[in-house]
Structure 1
Amino acid sequence: MQTVSSYGVEIRKQNIPIRQTLEIYRQAVSYLTEIYEQVWAELKMIPEAKKRFNAAEHLIHTTKKNHAHFDFDIRFPKMPSYLRRAAIQHALGSVSSYESRMEQWEAAGELSGKPNFTCENHAMPVFYRDVMYREGTEGKDEAYLKLYDGHDWRWFRVCLSHTDMEYLRRNWYGKKASAPALEKRHHKYFLRFSYTEEVTLTQTPVKEQIICSVDLGINTDVVCTIMRADGTVLGRKFIDFPSEKDRMYRTLGRIRRFQREHGSAQAGGRWAYTRRLNIELSRKIAGAVAEYARENHADVIVFEYLEMNGKISGSKRQK
């Protein structure tokens, strides 16, 4: 079985044109999306994905009868070929998704909820190795990216977070990483590397497996129970992070007081901070559960099923 792990390395602040590169890439995706929506009737007649992609790439460089002059190279000169193909693939996927949703909506005969076609996107470029990304000197926290400076595509040296690079060296040294993708989180830019591993699953017969049962709670975060397949309980552990929850509850209290005075429209930043606290808490809980299961040689982790549909009422709806 293959598992894919990823890790984001922060790009330290410096004078590099990441924003310009991201802007021109998204403009290219929007431009291509608009083109392919106009000629989708022709493209969808090509069943094979590779041939459809080749036809779409050929289209943006030529003039076709009954269509406008789609000259991609004039609007986006010298764009690296790998980045152009990534933009084509993203645009084709956007148009195909819209057309599929539109067909389903028409077949259902719905009067509301009609899918909207938009060329705006939040696509993030992938820096393919050798042509868009080069590793820096071994042991140094740096890399080289090909970026658009407003006039041309040039190589720029970027500094990477030392702690992030130390983590990769310690845990993924010698492993082959995929081409890094640009990512933006909390007003910071990251290069996200992905690693693929071959993992052998347990060969223990089902009736002989050890189970780690996880029950999510309100007063405690989770309760982990180690048991055999016949129900024999071997151990139990209550996992709780009270300080992290207290911090989150304090921010929720501040939000309630703020909204009473100023309304909910201005509380977006406070809610975003609270969501980040909640995400960090969930990561700590997941790590603690996995560690407890590993310590007890569990073959499988089983979670209870929670019905999350519908609106939850009551004083504990936030929890």
Structure 2
Amino acid sequence: MKIMTTYKTKIRDSHSALANTVGIYRQAVDFLIGVALEEWNALKEIERSLEKQRAIECVIHHTKSNPCPKYDFDSRFGKFPSYLRRAAITEAVGKVSSYKSNYANWEENPQGKEPGIPVAGYIYPAMYRDNCFVRIGTYTARLKVWIRNTWDWLDVQLRKSDVDYIQRHCATRKECVPTLRRRGKNWYLDFTFEENVKLEDKPIDRQIIIGVDLGINNACTCSAMLSDGTVIGRKILSLPREKDSLGHKLNKIKKAHQHGARKMPRLWAKAKGVNLDIAHKTAQFIADVAMLYSADVIVFEHLDTQGKKRGSKKQKLHHWRAQAVQRIVADKTHRDGVRVRRVCAWNTSKLAFDGSGEVERDEHNYSMCTFKTGKRYHCDLSASYNIGARYFIREILKSLPAKARLGIEAKVPQCTKRTTCTLSMLLSLNAELVA
């Protein structure tokens, strides 16, 4: 599979020419959006995006064989670089295509507001190599920008630490076209790198997996498991310091609300920063556990956090970045050949891993629970066993021929209902397979 990674490199000097270049590029995209809307009846009949780009270019660009184009783009944007012009055309056609499809969906089911006419918005130009971007030194680059009322080359200095980091980590990867981007008051070149990796494809009976239960009280609970249900390792990450820091900052926001404050960008920025730090530390911990046990697959719950949150923990649920953690883990571990899979999240924490039924959570320590047999156990650890077991049950049944699978399901009927599968059912399934 292909993995795309982006690294930002800060431009040390701030130039007004960079802001002018982005502004003119956005104006060009706005102009081309109007052209695409006018010519949409002809464009929608064309299937290939490159042919759509050529069709727009024929009606805006003056050439020897096309002396009188329909739209006067060249006089308004004189000496506009050809690569930037084609990138702007592609951007405009994509926005108009999205608008037309959204509008058609809205006409079929007119709920909410009518989709608005697209605009360029906060887009940034890709600096195509040789045409708009040339590297003239290790820490120096040359960009084609709008400066002194014309398009000319500008030498910029790149931050040494950023360039050294890219050279150290991306030497074997394919470098793609950089993008000029502004963050705050600083300008950056975002370099995208492409690499091909091969994910592990072992038989199910030889796989080692990490069942991960992402929690609100504990950041995550990981259990390393084999296909026969053997648990070979357990790790729990709590992050109490970061959780306290997040709660402290949210209390500051709450107090400001009580005193009549409406917009608090600085307070919210601090809270979001701590929350993002928790997500990154959790993802790194999961990736480290996967490397420790040489795992082939990391199994998460398929979490649906949409809709209105209710109950005493609704604020924690609102700031819970479970989806971001799963995405970061996938980005980190795919490079090492580790797959990421998801299973049904229903009843993973509610049911005991030993098959004794529903558990009873402690009122004071929500991480602990009591089984119906009287056994006290860590609830998140039990959930991680069930998550790993559900993955193995699903994959084992998928790998069997239809006749053998139906025979196994007749003997272990509990494994057919994924929402109630536990570790005990995986043990029963393996016993039947051995028999």
TM-score calculated relative to the size of structure 2? 0.67
Report the counterpart of residue 255 of structure 1 in structure 2: 253
Out of 276, 280, 295, the residue aligned to residue 277 of structure 2 is: 280
- Distance 1:150-1:224 versus aligned 2 partners, 3 A rule: farther
SS at match of 1:192: strand
SS at match of 1:96: helix
- Any conservation in 2 of the 1:29–1:123 contact (CA below 8 Å)? no
Letter of the structure 2 residue corresponding to residue 36 of structure 1:
A
- Distance 1:277-1:71 versus aligned 2 partners, 3 A rule: farther
- Does residue 33 of structure 1 match 2:33? yes
Report the counterpart of residue 299 of structure 1 in structure 2: 296
- Distance 1:205-1:104 versus aligned 2 partners, 3 A rule: same
Greater relative contact order, per chain length (Cα 8 Å cut-off, separation 6+): 1
* Aligned residues with identical type, % of pairs: 37
- Distance 1:302-1:21 versus aligned 2 partners, 3 A rule: same
- Any conservation in 2 of the 1:16–1:158 contact (CA below 8 Å)? no
SS at match of 1:304: strand
SS at match of 1:134: strand
SS at match of 2:302: coil
Q: CA shift at 1:202, angstroms?
A: 1.0
Q: CA shift at 1:242, angstroms?
A: 3.0
- Distance 1:187-1:287 versus aligned 2 partners, 3 A rule: farther
RMSD of aligned C-alpha atoms? 2.0
- Distance 1:184-1:230 versus aligned 2 partners, 3 A rule: farther
Report the counterpart of residue 24 of structure 1 in structure 2: 24
Please list, as runs of the form range in 1=range in 2, the aligned pairs for 1:160-309 lying within 5 A after superposition. 160-264=158-262, 266-309=263-306
SS at match of 2:232: strand
Report the counterpart of residue 317 of structure 1 in structure 2: 314
Q: CA shift at 1:16, angstroms?
A: 5.0
The structure in which a higher percent of residues are helix is 2
SS at match of 1:4: strand
User: Equivalents in 1 of 2:306, 2:70: separation in Å?
Assistant: 49
Report the counterpart of residue 48 of structure 1 in structure 2: 48
- Distance 1:49-1:137 versus aligned 2 partners, 3 A rule: closer
- Any conservation in 1 of the 2:95–2:118 contact (CA below 8 Å)? no
Report the counterpart of residue 92 of structure 1 in structure 2: 93
Q: CA shift at 1:209, angstroms?
A: 0.5
SS at match of 1:262: coil
- Any conservation in 2 of the 1:146–1:156 contact (CA below 8 Å)? yes
Report the counterpart of residue 76 of structure 1 in structure 2: 77
- Distance 1:268-1:150 versus aligned 2 partners, 3 A rule: farther
Q: Which moved more, 1:87-96 or 1:70-79?
A: 70-79
Q: Which moved more, 1:279-288 or 1:51-60?
A: 279-288
Deviations 1:223-255 (A, max 9, x none): 111111222111011123333333322221221
Q: CA shift at 1:13, angstroms?
A: 3.8
Q: CA shift at 1:206, angstroms?
A: 1.7
Which of these two proteins has the greater Rg computed from alpha carbons? Answer: 2
Report the counterpart of residue 65 of structure 1 in structure 2: none
Q: CA shift at 1:50, angstroms?
A: 2.4
Q: CA shift at 1:155, angstroms?
A: 1.5
User: Equivalents in 1 of 2:218, 2:38: separation in Å?
Assistant: 55
Q: Which moved more, 1:286-295 or 1:180-189?
A: 180-189
For structure 1, which runs of at least 5 residues remain unmatched after alignment?
63-67
- Distance 1:18-1:281 versus aligned 2 partners, 3 A rule: farther
User: Equivalents in 1 of 2:274, 2:13: separation in Å?
Assistant: 24
Q: CA shift at 1:210, angstroms?
A: 0.5
For structure 2, which runs of at least 5 residues remain unmatched after alignment?
63-68, 317-435
Letter of the structure 2 residue corresponding to residue 85 of structure 1:
R
- Any conservation in 2 of the 1:25–1:87 contact (CA below 8 Å)? yes
